[in-house]
Structure 1
Amino acid sequence: RSEYRCYHEALEQIALADRLGFDTVWAVEHHFLTEFAHSSAPEVFLAAAAQRTRRIRIGHGVVLLPDRFNHPIRVAERAAALDILSDGRLEFGTGRSSQYEQAGFGIDTELSRAMWQESLEIIPRMWTEDPFSHTGRFVTVPPRSVVPKPLQQPHPPIWMAATSPQSWEIAGRNGIGILGLTLFVSVPQLADRVRAYRTALGEAKPVGKFVNDRVGAFTIVHVAETKENAVRNGATEAAINYLLYAFRVLGGFADPTGRGMQRQYAELEIKSTPYRDMIAKEYPIIVKMQQNACTFEDLDREDMVIVGDVEHCIRKVERYRQAGLDHFIALMQADRIPHEKVLRSIELFATHVIPRFR
């Protein structure tokens, strides 16, 4: 499937989701990941989506904040423009990306968290102060008026992508919402992370003018009339493929040195290290992946993906709700699932699943 088709099919899917009552659409920022994502300019894509929709909120899920990816002034300007063009519908998600992508931009992985934090703190100030100035470790700006300003006042809700347990607590301390993963994480583990986030939120020093206390997580979702149809549509294969791609990409998040899950944990001859013990506890599915023994049934049993008929999907989403999520994100356009089947899945989810949770 060509990039042209992927982009234009995604826009058609978003327009349908808007008409059917979905709350938010999210677009990621990734670079160099040919098997995983070709979404390197989400602000452009989301602007196109905003012009094709009327009510669905427009989510940066996420924009990369280390300043070598995106200078914070440009982030503030583009996000404000997107908020204006969408009539005040922007949700502003932030993140750091993977070690592989960071290396392509000459970013020191060990500094990426500090880079993210500095940009996170000053972007809301750019939206609310005039003039704005800042002298920091990575960014220095003399007194300047950063324009335009967002339509939403005082500014759009702020979120953070979270892949490790520590990230959930960092989001809470910053007073921002969570965009989490269900990949590699079971529902009970997800519930533990939600509790840790809520605890940290109680001691928040918000980077913005208000606290965004919403908790979201995404997983692959495909709804069909029957489970057999979902399998024929390629959804189970898509789930496994996406997990394998994600494992290769996201490995660098889990290791503070940036070497990744594969290089440090996956060397099974390493008998015992604190890092290996942490991975074995937090991401047990990775053990099966390293042994080439991970199946769709493993993912389904741990509720890491949602593929099946309507009632099956309702039961799965209910487990996420019970874990403490108040924002559920469904990745519909995954791998090689045909466009018309994605549209049907969106329709079934909107018609039968969403009403059960409103």
Structure 2
Amino acid sequence: MVVRGGGWTVQSRWTNHTRELPKMEFGYFAQCFVPDFGYENDPDWEAQRIRDNLEISQLCDRNGFKYIWASEHHFLREYSHMSSPEVFLSAVASTTENVHLGSAIFNITAPVNHPVRSAERAAMIDILSNGRFELGTGRGSSSTEVMGFGMPGTPRNPATGLADTEITRGLWDEAIAQIPHMWREGAYSYEGDSFSMPPREIFPKPVTKPHPPLWVACGSPGTFEKAGKLGIGVLCFTIGTPDEIAPLIEIYKNEVASCKTPVGDYVHDNVMCVGFGICLDDREVAIDLATRSHMYYYQCLVYRWLDTFPKPDGIPEWPAVIPEPTHEDVRAAIEGGSLCVGNVEDCIHVSRQYERVGADQYVISPLTSTLPMEVVRETIVNFGKHVIPVIDTDPVHRSTRQRQAALAATG
């Protein structure tokens, strides 16, 4: 793979032919990390963190970011208090003009959210945002969430006492296949394993034609492969360096290139990767802030709650946490291209590493930390002025180009 002009040239190992693609896009991830110790100075801490994410989303819209993503999590204290992404994204829609609004994710399994309700909510946001919504989907990321909604037939593993979340695979498979049908004209009916519907016409209809782009959260080789076979975008939530993620992206790209029967009405070839971000004029100040911003505390919460993630060696049992990184650790991660911290040159360097391995979108999440808001604001402005213009030279969203090309091909 090489860079040529304004886009990637992707060689035959990923596609059956060479084609030009837009360069990598940028987004912001609203996770709503609410560490308990924040209440010591602010009794309104949880509400303020939600408002802070809204403010940064609005700032991203004014500074060239193309996406705002909002997670859906339930019952995961500190890690994420973003339980209603449809409400948050509606607020973002009403106060922005250009960014696309992505759910990362809507849990579309029937016991959590009836698939028809997910289709209705997605269409409503799409209308209110004038066609800027993209539907990222998933099935829940922990036994705490799955069991919290009384998932039927979900046994517990006797060795761990945790729920066996494998049942959710089939629930997601069933829902994702049906949602595109719900957006079409005329009555919809369905008789399935996890939900059924008598003939009903579902309103409203999305203004995005033929429908909003579809995505799925992926963390293992099997889910990357499945996403490619279904012809939908990947929300890459695997933890690792760009080079560690590269084989997973390649699995997806190989499959999506040969997808002939996508689950939606068109193939949506797109990979989004998430990382941290501090971009300041002074590199050493950025590095110092990274050592005391509770990045690793947040990462320990990942392993506290998301028991579907394999736990690496060296991660202690909660409430023990790993020490925050040293200045040397941060510098090594910057040089290795895995931590987007430093000055403009550092952030371009790290962004290029994700671009190099085939990511179509790089999303920063500086509020998955305790960085001061003025630092987060400066980071967003510096990305908008100095990083994004170097890498993303296409004013049109990649997903829009693919959707429009599919519409043109079908007449």
Which letter maps to 2:144? Y
Aligned to 2:315: 289
Cα deviation for residue 241 of structure 1 reads 1.9
In structure 1, runs of 5+ residues without a counterpart are: 255-260, 263-285
Q: Deviations over 1:307-343 (max 9, x none)?
A: 2111111111101000001111111212211112111
- Residue 227 in structure 1 maps to residue 283 in structure 2: yes
Aligned pair partner of 2:250 in 184, 195, 201: 195
Q: By percentage of residues, which structure has more helix?
A: 1
Partners of 2:101 and 2:132 within 8 A in 1: yes
| Partner residue in 2 for 1:166 | 222
Other-structure match for 1:309: 343
Q: Show CA shifts across 1:148-200 (max 9, x none).
A: 000101100000111112111111111100110252x2222211111100122
Cα distance in 1, alignment partners of residues 351 and 292 from structure 2: 17
1:103 is matched with which residue?
Answer: 147
TM-score (normalised: structure 1): 0.86
| Structure 2 residue matching 1:88: 3-state secondary structure | coil
- The partner residue of 2:98 within 29, 37, 55 is 55
Q: TM-score, normalised by structure 2?
A: 0.76
Question: 3-state SS of the aligned residue for 1:229?
Answer: helix
2:183 partner SS: helix
- Partner SS, residue 69 of structure 1: coil
Deviation for aligned residue 1:82: 0.4
Residue pair 2:218, 2:236 contacting (<8 A) in 1 also: yes
- Counterpart-to-counterpart distance in 2, 1:225 and 1:334: 21
State the 1:46 CA deviation: 0.5
Flag the 1:11–1:93 CA change in 2: closer, same or farther, 3 A: same
Where does residue 179 of structure 1 map in the other structure?
235
State the secondary structure of the residue aligned to 1:94: strand
Letter in 2 for 1:289: I
The answer (yes or no) to whether the contact 2:338–2:350 under 8 Å persists in 1 is no
| Shift of residue 129, structure 1, vs aligned partner | 4.1
Q: Is the 8 A contact 2:291 2:325 kept in 1?
A: no
Contact 1:30 1:38 in 2 (8 A): yes
- The answer to whether residue 355 in structure 2 is matched with residue 321 in structure 1 is yes
> Could you say if the C-alpha distance between residues 339 and 293 of structure 1 is closer, same or farther in structure 2, counting changes exceeding 3 Å?
closer
Partners in 2 of 1:179 and 1:59 — Cα distance?
10
Task: Please state how far the C-alpha of 1:100 moved relative to its aligned partner.
Answer: 1.9
Greater CA drift, 297-306 or 58-67: 297-306
Paired with 1:235 and 1:93, the residues of 2 have a C-alpha distance of: 32
Distance 1:293 1:4, change over 3 A: closer
Residue by residue over 1:202-258, the C-alpha shift from the partner in whole angstroms, topping out at 9 and shown as x without a partner, is: 343311101110111111111122232224445653321222112223332x4xxxx
Q: Is the 8 A contact 1:236 1:307 kept in 2?
A: no
Question: Which residue identity lines up with residue 149 of structure 2 in the other structure?
Answer: F
CA contact (8 A) 1:186 1:304 kept: yes
SS of the residue aligned with 2:294?
helix
Residues 187 and 319 of structure 1 are in contact (CA less than 8 Å); yes or no, is this contact kept in structure 2? yes
In the alignment, the residues of structure 2 paired with residue 3 and residue 85 of structure 1 have an alpha-carbon distance, to the nearest angstrom, of 26
Q: Distance in 2 between matches of 1:8 and 1:313?
A: 26
**Counterpart in 2 of 1:207?**
263
Contact 1:28/1:63 (8 A) holds in 2: yes
Instruction: Say if 1:250 and 1:137 are closer, same or farther in 2 by CA, change over 3 A.
Output: same
Which residue of structure 2 lines up, in the alignment, with residue 266 of structure 1?
none
CA distance in 1, matches of 2:352, 2:283: 18
**Matched-pair contact (CA < 8 Å) for 1:182–1:304:** no
Where in structure 2 are there 5+ consecutive unaligned residues?
1-37, 39-44, 155-164, 394-411
Which one of the candidate residues 171, 179, 196 is aligned to 1:123?
Answer: 179
- Counterpart residue identity of residue 130, structure 2: D
Contact 1:235 1:337 in 2 (8 A): no
Deviations 1:61-84 (A, max 9, x none): 110111111100100001100000
Distance in 1 between the 2:299 and 2:170 partners?
28
Task: Give percent identity, aligned residues only.
Answer: 36
Pairing partner for 1:13 from 56, 63, 86 = 56
Q: Aligned Cα RMSD in Å?
A: 1.9
The equivalences for 1:244-323 within 5 A come to 244-252=300-308, 254=309, 261-262=310-311, 286-290=312-316, 292=322, 295=325, 297=329, 300=334, 303-323=337-357
SS in 2 for 1:20: coil
Q: Quick one: structure 1 residues 167 and 303, their matched pair in 2 at CA, closer, same or farther if it must change by over 3 Å?
A: farther
Alpha carbons of 1:323 and 1:16: their partners in 2 closer, same or farther (altered >3 Å)?
same
State the match for 2:86 in structure 1.
43
| Cα contact 1:234–1:336 (8 A) shared by 2 | no
1:100-150 Cα offsets, whole Å, 9 max, x none, are 211111223121011011111111110014211111111111111000000
SS of 2:116's equivalent in the other structure is helix
Match of 1:354 in 2: 388
